[in-house]
Structure 1
Amino acid sequence: MSDVSEGARSTTGSARPEHGQGGVYAVPGKEYVRDTRYIDTRVTADGRDGFPVEPGRYRLIAARACPWANRAVIVRRLLGLEDVISLGLAGPTHDSRSWTFDLDPGGRDPVLGFERLREAYFRRDPNYSRGITVPALVDATTGAVVTNDFAQITVDLSTQWREYHRAGAPDLLPAEHGDEIAEITRYVFTEVNNGVYRCGFAGSQSAYDEAYQRLWSALDWLEDRLRDRRYLVGDSITEADVRLFTTLVRFDAVYHGHFKCNRHKLTEMPALWAYARDLFQTPGFGDTVDFEQIKQHYYIVHSDINPTGIVPAGPDLSGWTTPHGRESLGGSPFGNGTPPGPVRQGERVDPAHTPLP
C-alpha cells in the first residue's frame, strides 16, 4: 500500500445489502465509520499479483456521480491512458444489489456484457459479500474484478503505467514532493473527503457536531494554505489536487445542503472557490464532471436522508467558468508538460449537465 493511499473505501461508491437505494446510510445514535474492506490486488509493471500492465486488457468501471471514481477518470485522462485502459460508466443511481449499466444501449456494458457491476465481482469470487464499489478495474479477458482499491488505482496509473503515458503527461507524484503529497493527501482524506460523509451520515447530534467542526477546521486550513499558492504541493497539479477537487466540485451541489455541511458555500470561500475554478477549467478536470448525475445519485440513493427523492434544480453553475485570477500566483498546471487533447467521442459529459462549452 502506497503512503498516498487512504486505505478506505467509499460508502457512496458502493452498493451492498444494507446500503443502497431505499436503504439506511445514517445509523441512529452512531457516528459514521467508513468501510475499510476492499480487493487490494494490484495491476503492476512486474505483474507481482498475477496482473501485469497490458494495454487493452483492463476496463475501468466508474460512475460520474462518485467522487472516488471521478479521481480515476481524471487521472486516466490527464495521463493519456484512454487507448490502453477502456472506460465503462455506470448510471448515477443503484439499488441494494449493484450499480447498473443503464446508460448503455440495452442496459449492458458493451465490453463486459454485464447488466450489473456485481457480475464482475462474482466472477472474481462467487461468494463475494462485500461492497460492490466504483471505481473497479476489471480484467476484460475474464470479466472479473481485479481491484476496487480506489486510492491505489490512481497511484498505480501514475507509477506502474508510465510506459504508456502520453507525451507531455504531468507527473502527479513527483519524487521531490513525495512526503509532502503523502502528508497532505492523508489530511485531506481524513478531514475533507471523508469529513463530508461523517457529517452527512452522522446518526446523532453529537457525532454530527464533532464531524462538522473537524470538516470546517480543515477547510479553513486549506483556505489559508491556498491564498498564496496556486496548487496544494509544488508549482503544478499533483495527485493531491485531484483528490481535493472531487470533493470541492460536489460541495455546493450536494454536500452543503444534503450533507448539512452548511457553514459556508464553496462560493463564499475566496481562495478555495478560485482554486476549484482554476482546476475545473483545466483540461482533464471539469470536462469529467456531470453535475446532473452527481445530484441524482446523492438525492435519490440516500433515501433515508432525502425520503422524497426530490433532486434540487440548483445551484447555478455559471460561476464555474468565470475568471479565477490564479495565474498571478505563478506555476503552471502541467509543469513542463502539456494538457490532454479533446475528450474522446463517447466519453463526453452531456452538455446540458455542465457549464463548459
Structure 2
Amino acid sequence: MAEIVLDHITKRYADGTVAVDDFDVRIADHEFVILVGPSGCGKSTTLNMIAGLEDITEGELRVDGRRMNEKAPRDRDMAMVFQSYALYPHMTVRENIAFPLKLAKMGREETQERVERAAGLLDLAPYLDRKPAALSGGQRQRVAMGRAIVRDPKAFLMDEPLSNLDAKLRVQMRTSISRLQKSLGTTTVYVTHDQTEAMTLGDRIVIMRAGLIQQIGPPQELYDHPRNLFVAGFIGSPSMNVVPARLEEGLLRTPIGDIPLRGRLGRAAEGPDVPRDVIAGIRPESFEDASLVHDAEEGGTFTGTVDLLESMGPEKLAYFTLDTGAVRSEHLSEAGGEEAGEECRLVAQLDPKSGARRGQPVRLWYDTQAVHLFHPKTGENLTER
C-alpha cells in the first residue's frame, strides 16, 4: 500500500500543448480517488504519469516519500487495469491471472495460492479453466482485475475499466470494485468520464477541466457545494437547473419567480464585484408538487406545463420549458449542459404521489435557500465564497 503525492505536476508536449497543468494532490494510503472530467481534460494523462507511461515535464511524483519521476513503470510497483481487457485468448483464466507472476519467476506453489485467492475475491473460481472467449464482458474485466490483484501492488491504477460494459453490468462491476478495494485496502486511482461512477465509488473526487483541477473533495461535498458552474453542471444526474437571473431591489428575479435576498443568497449578492446579471442554479430534488408540501409559504412557487414526465418508480421527473432563452456559458457546454441558443429547460424531481400529467399545468414548490448564484463570466459560485 502507498501514499501517492503529485506535487505540482505538469505535462507539456513538444509542440507546447499543456495536457495537465499544476496538478497538486496528495492521495492517502488506502484511499480510493477518482479523476473525472470530460474527454480531453487530462485525467488519463495524469494516470499515465503516475504509472510511468508518460514523462513528467514539471513537478515531482512521490510514492511513500520516494521520488518516482525517473523510475521505469516496472519499478513503481503499480498495477494498471485498462478499458480493454487485454487478455491472452489462447490462455485459460488461470494462466491469464498468473501471467505477471510467471514473468516475475515466482514459484509454482505461491503462484497457485495467489491465483486462487484472487479468483475467490472476484468470484472467478468456477471459471479458472475456461478461455476468455467463453466468458461474459463482466467476467473478462474481473480476470483483468485478477491479473492486477495477484501482484499485490502498492497501488491500483484503473483507466475507465467499465466503459466497454452495458449499463447493468457497469452497476454490478461498480459494486464489485468498491467491495474489492475496501477489502484489500489498496490505494486506488480511478479514471472515468462518468460522474455516476465517480459519485458512487470514490472516497474523494478530483474534477478536471482542460488540464486543470476544478475541485477536490468527497462526492457529497462536491454535489452540495460546487465551487463553480462547471462542477455544478458536471456533477449530478439530472444535472443542476440553471436559469438567467438578476439582482434587483433586494430580490433575485428569475423565470420561476422573485426570491428575497435573505441568508446565504443575501450574503452572496453583497460586494462591489458581484454583477447584477447572474446565473441561478437549483437541483431537481429541490422542487416538489406544491399540493404535497405542507408549508409552501417557506419557499417559492411557480406554475408550468409539463412537457415530458418520466415515472422512475420512487420518483417522477417532470420536464418544463421556460419562457426565456437558455443560459449561454462555456462552463456549461464543456460540462455537457445545454447548447447556446436552445430554450431554457427545467427538470423537477417529484414525489411519485404527484398528480403531474404530461401536457397539463402543475404548480411546483421549490426551496429558495437551495438556490446557487454563479458569476456569468468566471463561473464562480458566489454562494460558496
Pick the TM interval, shorter chain.
under 0.3
Question: Which structure dedicates a bigger proportion of its chain to helix?
Answer: 1
Q: Which has the higher contact order (CA 8 A, sep 6+)?
A: 1
Larger CA Rg, structure 1 vs 2:
2
Question: Which structure dedicates a bigger proportion of its chain to strand?
Answer: 2
TM-score, reference length from structure 2:
0.24
